[in-house]
């Protein structure tokens, strides 16, 4: 929703309700990332109209301080950055205890070996295919390989962990991401900056 038209948010919420599977909300604090996005009033406003689940992506320091409030605001999926948590296991447990799905997010340069020990404790991982902080960035090609590696680990251990990819996702890379093992694709600019967002979503889902 970072790429939505905030002066016509209701219209974009209705479009997502009608065409997409979930709302992906990027929360930036100006500390973990240099940018600031939006906060509780906007999330709560979207929650009021949303008929699809809210997937909140926290790009903030000290995520443990805020997960309860985002769960209370209506988030059914909450991810936070491995780089921003002292004890990722504790935050994952905290999110699950609130009744939400717990996700671990990490930037394109974060070593995958450091993610591996947490795969069994995550409901999903959020593989960043651009660096967290801004919408509209170009997709990083090495992301396919990172998705494949995680897919292999999840399958080898028979874990129930979904792979979500976020950053520069578009019709140009959606099919290859899906075949690499991604199950949830987050598209911002590719959808909202298109002349016909509904058509882009249905096209990407058909790939
Ligand atoms: Zn995101």
Residues tagged active-site: 26, 166
136 pLDDT above the threshold of 90:
no
**pLDDT tens-digit map of 27-75:** 999 999 999 999 999 999 999 999 999 999 999 999 999 999 999 999 9
The CA 27 to ligand 1 mean position distance, Å, reads 8
The CA 206 to ligand 1 mean position distance, Å, reads 22
User: How many Å apart are CA 207 and CA 203, to the nearest integer?
Assistant: 7
Closest CA to 189 of 169, 205, 174: 169
Question: Which uninterrupted H or E stretch holds 147?
Answer: helix 143-157
The CA 166 to ligand 1 mean position distance, Å, reads 6
The DSSP symbol for 166 reads E
């Amino acid at each position: 929703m970072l790429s939505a038209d905030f002066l016509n948010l209701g219209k974009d919420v209705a479009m997502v309700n009608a065409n997409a599977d979930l709302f992906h909300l990027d929360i930036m604090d100006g500390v973990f990332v240099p940018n600031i996005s939006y906060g509780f009033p906007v999330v709560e406003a979207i929650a009021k109209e949303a008929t699809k689940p809210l997937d909140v992506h926290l790009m903030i320091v000290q995520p443990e301080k805020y997960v309860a409030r985002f769960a209370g605001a209506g988030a059914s999926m909450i991810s936070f950055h491995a780089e921003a948590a002292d004890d990722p296991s504790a935050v994952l447990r905290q999110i699950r205890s609130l009744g939400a799905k717990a996700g671990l997010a990490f930037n394109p340069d974060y070593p995958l070996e450091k993610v591996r020990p947490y795969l069994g404790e995550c409901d999903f991982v959020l593989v960043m295919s651009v660096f967290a902080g801004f919408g509209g960035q170009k997709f990083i090609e090495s992301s396919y390989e990172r998705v494949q590696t995680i897919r292999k680990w999840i399958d080898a251990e028979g874990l129930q962990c979904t792979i979500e990819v976020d950053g520069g996702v578009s019709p140009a890379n959606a099919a290859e991401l899906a075949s690499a093992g991604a199950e949830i694709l987050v598209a911002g600019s590719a959808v909202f900056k298109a002349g016909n967002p509904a058509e882009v979503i249905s096209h990407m889902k058909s790939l």
